[in-house]
Amino acid sequence: MNMKLSPDLLNGTTLASKKTRLAVTGVNLFYGDFQALRNITLEIPECAITAIIGPSGCGKSSFLRLFNRMNDLITGARVEGRVELDGIDIYDKSIDVVELRKRVGMVFQKPNPFPLSVFENVAYGPRRHGRHNRGELEDIVKKSLRQAALWDEVKDKLEQSALALSGGQQQRLCIARVLAVEPEVILMDEPCSALDPVATLKIEDLMRSLTENYTIVIVTHNMQQAARVSDMAAFLMMEEDRAGVLVEYGPTSDIFTNPKDKRTEDYITGRFG
């Protein structure tokens, strides 16, 4: 499979010098009696894009949701092991989950703008966190839309319904909505799966630009996308009991050009999955 790797991946010293932002150690995830993830350990560097790849049903989205405790919303969900943000176990009883989700934002598979104006979509989070000054909110909205590469397209439509935007614009609006609360980490669960190729490339370009200030973890089924945008890649598979396990993790350039595990090679070359 011929894939163009991001040029950032070709310089190993860049990744090696980055500190760990997220870490999981010996993590097992259960939904009731069903084990969704088994004994996963890895470290995710700051200000980089880490792609989670693997066949359907292997637990990629469940793994992603570990980092902002979205699995807590599922009845019977239970996590064993440690999940850390900047060295702090986010499953400790002392953790404020609302504050955690402010620090670790999430963009979902399908664009999900609120049935509000473009302005109110972006201002929603800051309002929830106590920021009500109109001038301050205008500055936040403008800054966030600029960061999401959307300002020039919507600056004259701020009071129009967000639902009137195109699919690609809606997804960038959802990214702006996350950026408005000033997170440190952005989780993306197949953010381009509902978009056309042109909109997809805009989101990918946006992701690369955001790594200057943000740590991004993305779940994707698109191997070309993983190769184009990510710095690190984690390959998950299912065992016979359907529990997801980590097969291989490392710099994307290594995973795609010199994988250590034949199962990784078979998957990225399309032999299964």
Phi-psi label, residue 76: left if phi above 0, alpha if psi -120 to 50, beta otherwise: left
User: Is pLDDT of 167 > 90?
Assistant: yes
Q: Measured between alpha carbons, how far is 162 from 202 in angstroms, rounded to an integer?
A: 18
Beta bridge partners of 161: 117
Q: Going by DSSP bridges, is the β-strand pair 104-107/49-53 parallel, antiparallel, or unpaired?
A: unpaired
pLDDT at 82 over 80: yes
User: Looking at this protein, which amino acid is placed at residue 210?
Assistant: L
For residues 4 and 52, is the Cβ–Cβ distance under 8 A?
no
Q: What is the mean pLDDT of the chain?
A: 92
pLDDT digits (tens, 9 = 90+) for 16-62: 678 999 999 999 999 999 999 999 999 999 999 999 999 999 999 99
pLDDT at 3 over 90: no
Angle at 47 (CA atoms; ends 56, 193), nearest 5 degrees: 30
- Structural contact between residues 62 and 29, judged by C-beta atoms closer than 8 angstroms: yes
230-259 pLDDT, tens digit per residue, is: 999 999 999 999 999 999 999 999 999 999
**How long is the chain?**
273
CATH 3.90.1150.10 holds for 7-113+165-268: no
pTM: 0.91
Q: Which residues pair with 20 in a beta bridge?
A: 45
> 170-216, pLDDT tens digit by residue?
999 999 999 999 999 999 999 998 888 998 999 999 999 999 999 99
- C-alpha 93/C-alpha 90 separation (Å) is 8
